[in-house]
A and B are shown apart, each in its own frame.
Chain A
Amino acid sequence: MSAVLSAGPLTGGEVRQQVHWTERIGHLALLLTGVFLGVVLLAPIWMILAKSVENRDGDFVGLLHFTGYFETPALLQSIWNSFWLSGLVTVITVPAAFIFAYALTRSCMPGKSLARNVALVPLLAPSLLSAISFIFWFGNQGLLKSWMGGHQIYGAAGIVLSLCFATFPHALMILITALALTDARLYEAADSMGTSTRRRFFTVTLPAAKYGLISAAMVVFTYAISDFGVPKVIGGNFNVLATDIFKLVIGQQDFSKGAVVAIMLLLPVALTYVLDMSVQRKQQAQLSARSVPYQPRPARGFDLAMAAYVWLVCLLMLAVLGMAIWASFIKLWPYDFSLTLRHYRLGLIDAGVFGAYLNSVKMALWTASAGTVLVFVTAYLLEKTRGMDWLRPVVRLFAILPMGVPGLVLGLGFIFFFVRADNPLHFLYHTMAILVLSTIVHYYSTSHLTAVTALKQLDAEFEAVSASLKVPFYRTLARVTVPVCLPAILDISRYFFVNAMTTISAAVFLYSPDTTLAAVAILNLDEAGDIGPAAAMATLIVVTSIGACFLYYLLNRFFERRLQVWRRPAGAV
């Protein structure tokens, strides 16, 4: 058998398969996304680290800026402020959201889906909106200023209230998922042994939701400590890390010290992120594929109490949201409460600020399209193609890393990186593209995980079958994978759109006079004392986000009807 001799690998060394040219296309694409993510994620963070040990002339000065920082009591105070404030927001929001989620999953109260949608509305607004609303409610000229009993809303109180509103839906989504995952058979087992309701709660419900609670706490804490808009608008003289960075960089142009503060902000967020990752890994192990979903049974007293709580929370949510909308139509707060469109017409259009809104929509559309394509194709290449095994873990890491970087830090890194004239990518500086790029990177991780989850649900052998039929992977991607994953793709696109509309943190360093965004414009209007037009702009953002969500909903329904006949069993056609 001469074939044995010609094969040759018997003498040692692994047999290596040739790579088909169609696979090379995939490898090249994967390499490009890896380089791309590496450049736009690692380079900016590296620039921050580098800046923190350089002086204005770019000479290495060691830890000089750090020692300087720790000798400035006002700056140290900000660290402490950021921490206790975010801790307080976490302690208030997580239990409140837990009871809300418990009501939605474990009671028979009426109107669950409406309540859920109302509670998720803050996701569609920039965090600034709640701050503006609270100023209208409790500010110097607020409707309910008397409730403050001589205290000021500007400062810690206003920040905490606004952030509780903004973070509530984030905690709620995680907790609903955690509670919905509980196996009904555990409850049946507990009941069959005559377990009391109280004991059942502590031995079945809480342990099952434990990881969800931890995860929710981490997410809320991270959001609160890295948010920039809320303390800027309602914080008054109360300083936190996020506002310090802004003041140092934009106000004093002290980039090195700004970089030091950015690192102070990056550290706790990155640490929380690492903890959350390890917790989530444990939760996945806890799930069993054959869980039976829990079906609540009516219990009059309990259901009523739960409904009362839920609707109270919803009422508060609507009061915050509604105030900003209503105030945007008020002629002259607080003297003339007649309704008018002057804030929109005079304050936005005539003042030349309306362009910012159009910029935001444009930016959101670009992010929603380019970001979705990038995320989905990368996730596909990672999950469904073969080869380049050394590269895969690296790209996977790049894909989930952005979650651990606050937007403000990312934005600062971007500006450090792109502002350098010797950077070949310098041409992106002060363009719309850099805003799109930063937003895609900032919200990459969640989108990536959505795509991966959807792809993992597909039959693992589609690609093997295609190869056996000599059909290249990109054809199967277009003909099968994308159509089947369309709901998830729309989800990703919507997520990108809404976040691009509402984001401020990274953008605040990156906009140019020509590319001001709506959320940034709110900030500037508020600073100029034009709180009416600021409310009008916030309203526009919310309305646009809601409109976009509705559009996505219609799209999804359209595709379900037209393209997904194949989902229905026989007879339904």
Chain B
Amino acid sequence: MDSLPAAALCIEHVSKRFGAFTALDDINLAVGKGELLCFLGPSGCGKTTLLRIIAGLETQSAGAVIQNGRDISRLPPMLRDYGIVFQSYALFPNLTVSDNVAYGLVNRKATRPAIAARVAELLGLVGLPDSGGKYPAQLSGGQQQRIALARALATSPGLLLLDEPLSALDARVRVRLRSEIRLLQQRLGVTTILVTHDQEEALSMADRVVVMNQGTIEQVGTPAEIYLDPASPFVADFVGKTNMLPGRVLAGAGLRIGEMVLAGVKGADGFAPDAAVSVFTRPEDVVVRPAGDDLPNSIPGVIEHIEFLGAYCRLAIRAEGIGTTLVYADFSQRGLQSLKLTVGTRVRVALLEERVRAFARPQPPA
């Protein structure tokens, strides 16, 4: 398990079964104090179930949840220490913004002026100092989500849970709120768990990302580790665009892809020589030159298609010796023009050894 000095939250051997279906299978995880940890995965991977178990809204079938050294596995939500923000905001429509934010404070027998001061402080914190008298329906979606955040933070919880908080917002608001939430979280230093299916959101906000799939953890790592050094084909494929090329293992952690030979490839040493593997590399790490250029250790191919993506273009190249799999390579507009690459151009393709990783080839379905 992780060797973080002060774990604010530990998940130990947590499993959740619904009848015969296993939603979570022996999950182990530690969240550091002040860390923003992100559960990332496709819908149905168990990330929301895990969050709800941490919140006490669901009960795990087995395993323990430890918060600050205290076993909270069996505590009802009322006795746990966390604030939560849902995708739907769940703001009380008949209460003003101030009353919403003060909802958890009123119960703590604080004095009226103290509550009012705290509400004002929180509204300032989320950048909506003048909205206290309004009703939620009078605010935009992004503003409502910020109020929901202020309400969750009002009681200064030791743990902040965010369940797909930005998914209901439109793209521009989402991007802006991402960095706002992250800044706020860092400023307050509150330990935070964010659930999302949006890999961009996860990579841009999190200290560490937990990639989940079918009730298990595929990889835990910093955004850079997840992106550059995925631990499984699933992670490679789910986070960012990826190439998965067919290759064969050579002795000494080498790889052959068509005519191309790579040495010292990560992951290749785990296979017997001549084993068939999938070769992972990102499109931006694929080198492409016109056929006439001298590109050592490369394979020939033809540009079959160019997809325009605004800031850059993605080439689809049919390369020799790798069957029907297309090689994807990203190019800036300028690079494309200077090399005079268009559909039909004959090219040579090379891979960067240090940016390549070998995985077991998935068995074709019987």
Contacts and interface: CB of A to CB of B under 8 A. Distances in A.
Contacts of A114: none
Give the contact-size bracket for chain B.
Answer: 35 or more
A568 B80 CA distance: 36
A59 interface: no
Contact of B60 (A4, A15, A464): A15
Report the 8 A-B pairs with minimum CB-CB distance, sorted nearest first: A469-B104, A7-B64, A566-B135, A467-B77, A570-B138, A461-B90, A20-B76, A20-B78
B76 A569 contact: no
B178 interface: no
A484 interface: yes
Contact of A465 (B12, B86, B134): B86
B125 to A, nearest CB: 17
Given A7-B71, A462-B92, A464-B55, 16 more contacts: A16-B59, A22-B78, A459-B86, A462-B90, A465-B84, A468-B82, A468-B157, A469-B103, A471-B107, A479-B92, A480-B95, A483-B94, A566-B136, A567-B93, A570-B134, A570-B137
A475 interface: yes
Main secondary structure of the interface of B (DSSP, over half): loop
B66 interface: yes
Interface in A457-485: 459-462, 464-472, 475, 479-480, 483-484
Interface in B248-299: none
Contact of A15 (B61, B136, B137): B61
B18 to A, nearest CB: 12
A475 B104 CA distance: 11
A460 to B, nearest CB: 8
Contact of B74 (A18, A461, A468, A480): A18
A406 to B, nearest CB: 40
B78 A4 contact: no
Contacts of A14: 59, 61-62
Nearest to A484: B94
Interface of A: 1, 3-4, 6-7, 9-10, 12, 14-20, 22-23, 459-462, 464-472, 475, 479-480, 483-484, 563-570, 573
Contacts of B56: 17, 467
B78 A3 contact: no
Interface of B: 1, 10, 12-13, 55-57, 59-64, 66, 69, 71, 73-80, 82-84, 86, 88-90, 92-96, 103-104, 107-108, 134-139, 151-152, 154-155, 157
Given A16-B59, A20-B78, A6 B86 contact: no
A474 to B, nearest CB: 12
Contacts of A23: 76, 78
B155 A563 contact: no
Contacts of B66: 3
Contacts of B63: 7, 9-10, 15
Contacts of B151: 465, 469
B161 to A, nearest CB: 8
Contact of A471 (B74, B104, B157): B104
21 contacts: A4-B13, A6-B71, A7-B73, A9-B63, A15-B59, A15-B63, A18-B75, A18-B79, A20-B78, A23-B76, A461-B88, A464-B77, A464-B90, A468-B55, A468-B82, A468-B104, A469-B103, A479-B92, A566-B135, A567-B93, A570-B139
